[in-house]
Structure 1
């Protein structure tokens, strides 16, 4: 009972700290919200008393503390310099953007992110991939540096696509997928609008059933995919969810990417868009590598490995949600 109450307390603080950042009108209160978020999330993920969890806690604490420290020093420097010129201001904005990239686990500061993901359970990974990114991204959307943002976008899309190709750990694959999606979200910020929030919401909705499925079947490695999914409906659901996450039409995951593509075409950013779409195809390749054994191999499994606890309602909801893309297109057209 006490353990559950402490978990609830830390989860509440994690949610409220992000709300503080979203509603702040000065840098210090934003920094305070980020620090509260860090201090609440560490006890939340350190429930298991094993060395892997302790390692991931320390990794998260060091990287987030370094990002927060750089952010605070930059903000204080900006206040102390009375007569500030444009060049100094640009440098300070650049450092500020880099500190937020460290906190988000965006390239070239991404090395801690997949490593930390590989040491946690799926639901904690889900919080790290979605909710923990909201606060730094909100602050990032207030800073505009054209060339540096373009560099971060391209690096995120490239590293997220290439990094996941050689992985066998499902959690590391999902971490690199998250880095790739972060690049797409950042491209929304580059275009001066808050559509990255819509992208984040849709990404979170698409990711939740996958995480639930992985937790239910206790999947952590790539070779477990063909062992654990046994019914045709399981295979179909898994395939639809991963293709949706890869942004393949007519599934729901194509909608946020289509939105970004439309914005970038309007701004005539064809070269950047081409690079982003091509690397998005690479992410789709490693999703297809996960689901191809399910679709192509009709194998036999031992009876004691079969689980009959597949939730029918959840399967139906997931299938309907991911197939809702044609409906969204219809609403958009009329």
Structure 2
């Protein structure tokens, strides 16, 4: 990593801190613009032409979202009749466009499919913090409920008909965003969900980056030992939210809050959509679970695989026992 990359990462970090510490809308908007302008050169690579396409799509969509948000902020002093009903809709539309949440999600899988795993890791985790903070300060229950339902459906159904691992992770991110919105709606700690989701994505993307996996047919050919098969199985089951893996902890918190809030129908809907996401995670595993293949020794990169398995399986077990 050269000096320019370090500089852009530093600007991305401090721009998000600016949004988190701001007390007015204009400062938050400025922080998001700084974050946008630092992330665009970070994802660009001269030798890969697809990154230029992803960079242009990301810039146009984020600029459109920023214009909608800024326009809504400036309308504050101009419109006095039904102010909340007009500006709240526009601000949330701009935020959803920036996040890539349904129904403004079409750009997100395209950008993700043209980037590398490390760039996607930043796009799906750090780049969501600033818009989510903006959204948490301006919650409209009716619009947020609609986005929760749509994001859950799109994230579950969209990943069923693709063989690209990057697009599967993109639709998975849209589905996980619906759970974060739901946690935000009930005034609970959505940031904790994002933190656990980030930890899951780090282990997942490190494994995919290390094995150079981008499509479903590469999973079977590049898992060379039993330990690696167990590792990718634990990763996928954790992403699907199956107990006792790490991904079950944040969903458990949301389900507990929904039961306390008497939101049974919405809980059943979210769980049914989560089962669909578990189906396309199982598709990734089925290539080596159902097909006979030769197995090499356990000692192939044992340390890294054991660390990933510990994070996804043993860590949540310790956390559950500590809470119990």
Is residue 2:310 matched to residue 1:320? yes
Is residue 2:158 matched to residue 1:168? no
* Distance of 2:61 and 2:157 partners within structure 1: 23
The answer to whether the 8 Å contact 2:217/2:287 transfers is: no
**Post-superposition CA distance 1:304-323 (Å, at most 9, x none):** xx899943222222212222
The answer to whether the 8 Å contact 2:109/2:171 transfers is: yes
SS at match of 2:160: coil
What count of residue pairs does the alignment treat as equivalent? Answer: 323
CA RMSD after TM alignment: 1.6
Instruction: Tell me what 2:28 maps to.
Output: 30
* Distance of 2:273 and 2:253 partners within structure 1: 17
**Post-superposition CA distance 1:199-246 (Å, at most 9, x none):** 001001011111011111111111000000010000001000110110
**Post-superposition CA distance 1:271-315 (Å, at most 9, x none):** 1111100000000000001001222322149xxxx8999432222
Instruction: Tell me what 2:10 maps to.
Output: 12
Instruction: Tell me what 2:107 maps to.
Output: 112
* Distance of 2:173 and 2:28 partners within structure 1: 24
* Distance of 2:291 and 2:251 partners within structure 1: 31
Instruction: Tell me what 1:251 maps to.
Output: 245
Q: Cα 1:162–1:174, aligned 2, differ >3 Å: closer, same or farther?
A: same
SS at match of 1:165: helix
Instruction: Tell me what 1:295 maps to.
Output: 289
Instruction: Tell me what 2:196 maps to.
Output: 202
Question: What aligned pairs does 1:116-265 form with structure 2 within 5 A after superposition?
Answer: 116-193=111-188, 195-265=189-259
Structure 2 unaligned regions, length at least 5: none
* Distance of 2:209 and 2:299 partners within structure 1: 13
The answer to whether the 8 Å contact 2:241/2:248 transfers is: yes
Instruction: Tell me what 1:59 maps to.
Output: 57
Q: Cα 1:314–1:62, aligned 2, differ >3 Å: closer, same or farther?
A: same
The answer to whether the 8 Å contact 1:249/1:325 transfers is: no
**Post-superposition CA distance 1:53-95 (Å, at most 9, x none):** 11111100000000000000100111334xx24x221221111
SS at match of 1:227: helix
Instruction: Tell me what 1:332 maps to.
Output: 323
Match of 1:76 among 51, 74, 77: 74
The answer to whether the 8 Å contact 1:161/1:177 transfers is: yes
* Distance of 1:274 and 1:252 partners within structure 2: 21
SS at match of 1:314: helix
* Distance of 1:209 and 1:290 partners within structure 2: 16
TM-score, length of structure 1 as denominator length: 0.93
SS at match of 1:164: helix
Instruction: Tell me what 2:274 maps to.
Output: 280
Is residue 2:265 matched to residue 1:271? yes
* Distance of 1:48 and 1:221 partners within structure 2: 23
